[in-house]
Amino acid sequence: MVATLPDSVDAKNKFEDLSGVDITKYENPYDALIEACKNDPAQIQARYETHRVTRNAQQKAKIIAPDFEDLLIDPILKKLEDPSIEPGFMDPRNCLVFWARPPGHIRDLVGRAQQELRKVAPHLWLMPLQNLHLTALELCHSLTFPETEAIVSSLGSPAYTEMTDYTLTHRARLIKPTLSYDTAAIALSFLPAAGKEEDNFTYHHLRRDLFSIAKRAGVQVDSRYVVPSSHITIGRFLGQGDHDSIEKRKAWMEKIEEVNVWLEKEFWPSNGEDEEGFEWVVGMEKGLDFRQGTLWYGGGETIRLGKGF
């Protein structure tokens, strides 16, 4: 499989597992965390929380450091948004993914968060609400269209039908939304729930099972990262102007933290995770979206959309 990766900002962005789990010895990398956590949903949630808290602290220290240089600007998105830079430019990176589409109440929450962020970063590129997605499994990235077509054929309709409908009978609950960020983008991230009996099947189990089905069908899974994160990208940077001084960067951090205080107060469970409250059960409204094409920014075409509930 020959990658045709152009100058992608993600190639410069380090996706490091900060949960303390070593996946290198496992054929299915998602088994590593489940085994390390003794299949305990509470421990799995704790590892996801460790990853996102550690990463946010790491990125904050970098962004407000006196010697901070620049944000990572996405050159491909910049060309797509401003055709005058390179008239006729088209994103050459084709991908194959299984996306979970956020239901209406999650899209509404993202919209509110995006508008708050725009108050201090007016030039922030916002992911259109209809394009929002959580990547449950990435089969491949940065290939030509014929290369992805060959993988679709190898996977086969029985396998991808099973995968797109999987959330109909295997329901994973996500809770505790928080803004997560780095020097390239900002996302709304969630934690796998652990408070109810049905939470024994977590989002990490869903990722593991999708990986296993694809491998069983004979497909080599080539994901960019398998870190313990369940996030939907909501914005990216197209320029340095909103963050070109330490004062602006501190204001950016303050706004993110302000939104996160609001999220925790209004949308986190207050009396234990078993209570009814704000949650996203993956598969709500729509099953998984098996998607192909130039979809780094939410585009592409659906090969099959699974049944929702």
pLDDT tens readout for residues 260-308 = 999 999 999 987 766 667 999 999 999 999 999 999 999 999 999 999 9
Q: Is the pLDDT of residue 127 over 70?
A: yes
Query: So what's the pLDDT on residue 4?
Result: 43
Inter-residue contact 213 to 205 (CB < 8 Å): no
The CATH architecture of the domain made up of 9-305 is Alpha-Beta Complex (3.90)
Query: So what's the pLDDT on residue 276?
Result: 65
216-247 burial, b if ≥16 CB within 10 A, otherwise e? eeebebbbbebbbbbbbbbbbbbeeebbeeee
Residue 223 binned pLDDT confidence (cut-offs 50, 70, 90): confident
Query: So what's the pLDDT on residue 2?
Result: 40
Domain boundaries, the chain: 9-305
**Cα separations in angstroms, 39 against 43, 211, 307:** 8, 17, 28
Residue 226 binned pLDDT confidence (cut-offs 50, 70, 90): confident
Q: Is the pLDDT of residue 105 over 50?
A: yes
Mean of the pLDDT values across residues 190-195? 95
For the chain, give the mean pLDDT. Answer: 92
